[in-house]
């Protein structure tokens, strides 16, 4: 079928302003693509932005009665959704990337009726994960999502993934249509068209699961539906960090997966130093290359509130999580005070902490009580240990996993030396990692990044002395970051 002239003209305009580029581009996933779409530039070309919005609205206008509000996926699709809604006098809501810890603390901003159907607007769909993440947030706020509209479908599995979860994806253009049009208009060569088509054929992000028969989650049925949904997802090693992040109901877990994906690092730096000045220096120098900074705040000399404040500012500057390795192991009333009170006031500045499961579920309940309903705090349980002669046997580990499943609103994963559950919403963080294996001081047993990530199927490598004692800490951090990320790519591409 011949493409309408208006569509051809829009594709040519997008090509002319550099919103569509051809060459060699490294994507966030680490793969190299012959084509790249940078639709952020359209905000600088009002006529083209309006044309994009008009063609998308025309596609959905006949079904407008089906929807009550529109939501753009942050951030590129926000101006598109805004223009569509203001031009056509249609209600809009906004989804934040993450809730603020002040004010209303909402993820979804705007006025809407519970149960209303919300249309999602996106610019480009590859895997569909951004649309799905927005879907989950909207549904958790009480909205219904059945459809999404996108300007460009890259044909790499996004439509199929969303359809498997009950979302119909409407696209204005497919990648094949775009390159065919540009070739016909003498903008790109026949060989480039072939290269792009080969790329599409060889880089599908969606692996169907024959047992998967799921619909989008409903907040009111979290316990039964979410468990069934999670059990239908492929095993951890077959799922990307990005895809796992959008499955997470816990905001801290979702944020960690986003940081790992965006910064391409699964490195947690264990900054076990006793000087506050040295701690802040390490955080600033290595911060750009880590997803989590692990602290032992009780070994810092002359600790003051200004230290934790400065650490929090560095975590915002470099986009990493602060994990206080406190290892709580007492009755609920005691750990509640240890977590929120005293000279450390851990709950005020640490995004993440951890606990032993030995005391039973009371330790988790006490920690949860300390932060009440805050969504920006979470906990890991110690399921396995890396020291010689430890007493965390298989029964202990099994009981720990069960406790995590019973408290998944607060517990987001495990400290472990192996994968202890196939649930992709739980994180596995492994200590005792060095580039070379072996035994260390005081019973520490070291594993390599490849052993931890690729073979044992864990998610995050925890590195301490390999970086803190290095002559060049920055260089060491980069080496571990690259080693961990390579192991991850080897695992998901196996």
Enzyme catalytic residues: 327, 330
Q: What is the DSSP letter of 139?
A: H
| The pair of three-digit structure tokens given for residue 490, joined into one six-digit string | 């080897």
How far is CA 154 from each of CA 53, 127, 267, rounded to the nearest angstrom?
Answer: 19, 9, 30
Residues 89, 91, 92, 93, Cα dihedral to 10°: 160
| The pair of three-digit structure tokens given for residue 319, joined into one six-digit string | 């986009």
Q: What is the DSSP letter of 274?
A: S
> Strand, helix or coil at 149?
strand
Instruction: Please tell me the distance from the alpha carbon of residue 69 to that of residue 64, in angstroms, as a whole number.
Output: 10
Using an 8 Å Cβ cutoff, are 363 and 328 in contact?
A: yes
Range list of H helices, 89-147: 129-140
Please say whether the dihedral angle defined by the alpha carbons of residues 394, 400, 401 and 403, taken in this order, is positive or negative. positive
How far is CA 178 from each of CA 32, 70, 175, rounded to the nearest angstrom?
Answer: 19, 26, 5
Q: What are phi and psi of 298, to 5 degrees?
A: -75, -5
Please say whether the dihedral angle defined by the alpha carbons of residues 373, 378, 381 and 387, taken in this order, is positive or negative. negative
| The pair of three-digit structure tokens given for residue 382, joined into one six-digit string | 């110690």
**Size of the chain, expressed as the number of residues it contains:** 494
Using an 8 Å Cβ cutoff, are 386 and 380 in contact?
A: no
Strand 69-72 and strand 321-328: pairing? unpaired
Axis-axis angle for helices 276-286, 473-492 (nearest 10):
50
Instruction: Please tell me the distance from the alpha carbon of residue 432 to that of residue 339, in angstroms, as a whole number.
Output: 25
| The pair of three-digit structure tokens given for residue 439, joined into one six-digit string | 């035994």
| The pair of three-digit structure tokens given for residue 96, joined into one six-digit string | 């934040």
Q: Reading across the β-sheet that carries 147-153, which strands appear in turn?
A: 108-109, 92-95, 69-72, 118-125, 147-153, 168-174
> Strand, helix or coil at 444?
strand
Q: What is the DSSP letter of 115?
A: T
How far is CA 208 from each of CA 121, 127, 493, rounded to the nearest angstrom?
Answer: 25, 13, 16
What is the Cα gyration radius of the chain? 24
Using an 8 Å Cβ cutoff, are 170 and 60 in contact?
A: yes
């Amino acid at each position: 079928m011949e493409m309408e002239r208006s569509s051809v003209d829009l594709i040519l305009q997008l090509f002319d302003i550099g919103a569509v580029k051809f060459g060699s581009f490294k994507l966030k996933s680490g793969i190299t693509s012959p084509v790249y779409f940078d639709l952020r530039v359209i905000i600088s070309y009002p006529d083209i932005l309006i044309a994009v919005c008009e063609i998308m609205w025309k596609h959905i206008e006949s079904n407008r009665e089906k929807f009550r509000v529109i939501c753009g996926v942050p951030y590129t699709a926000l101006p598109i959704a805004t223009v569509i809604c203001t031009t056509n006098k249609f209600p809009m809501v906004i989804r934040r990337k993450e809730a603020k810890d002040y004010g209303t603390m909402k993820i979804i901003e705007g006025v809407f009726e519970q149960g209303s159907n919300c249309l999602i607007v996106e610019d480009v769909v590859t895997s569909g994960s951004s649309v799905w993440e927005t879907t989950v947030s909207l549904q958790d706020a009480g909205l219904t999502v059945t459809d999404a509209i996108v300007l460009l479908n890259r044909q790499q599995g996004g439509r199929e993934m969303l359809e498997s979860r009950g979302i119909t994806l409407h696209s204005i253009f497919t990648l094949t249509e775009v390159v065919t049009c540009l070739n016909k208009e003498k903008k790109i060569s026949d060989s480039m068209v072939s290269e792009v088509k080969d790329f599409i054929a060889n880089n599908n992000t969606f692996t169907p699961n024959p047992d998967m028969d799921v619909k989008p989650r409903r907040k009111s049925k979290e316990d039964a539906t979410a468990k069934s949904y999670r059990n239908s997802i492929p095993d951890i090693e077959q799922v990307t960090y990005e895809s796992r992040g959008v499955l997470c109901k816990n905001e801290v877990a979702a944020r960690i997966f986003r940081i790992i994906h965006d910064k391409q690092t699964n490195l947690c730096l264990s900054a076990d130093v006793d000087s506050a000045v040295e701690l802040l220096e390490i955080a600033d120098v290595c911060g750009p290359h880590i997803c989590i900074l692990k602290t032992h705040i009780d070994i810092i000399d002359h600790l003051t509130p200004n230290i934790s404040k400065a650490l929090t500012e560095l975590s915002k500057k470099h986009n990493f999580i602060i994990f206080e390795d406190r290892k709580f192991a007492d009755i609920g009333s005691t750990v509640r005070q240890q977590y929120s009170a005293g000279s450390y006031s851990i709950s005020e500045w640490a995004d993440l902490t951890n606990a032993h499961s030995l005391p039973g579920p009371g330790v988790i309940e006490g920690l949860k009580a300390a932060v009440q309903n805050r969504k920006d705090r979470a906990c890991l349980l110690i399921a396995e240990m890396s020291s010689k002669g430890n007493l965390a046997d298989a029964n202990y580990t099994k009981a720990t996993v069960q406790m995590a499943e019973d408290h998944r609103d607060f517990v987001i994963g495990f400290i472990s030396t192996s994968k202890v559950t196939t649930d992709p919403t739980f994180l596995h963080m492994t200590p005792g990692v060095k580039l070379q294996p072996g035994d260390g001081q005081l019973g520490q047993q070291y594993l390599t990044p490849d052993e931890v990530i690729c073979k044992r199927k864990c998610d995050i490598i925890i590195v301490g002395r390999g970086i803190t004692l290095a002559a060049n800490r920055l260089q060491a951090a980069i080496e571990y970051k690259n080693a961990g990320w390579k192991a991850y790519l080897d695992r998901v591409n196996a």
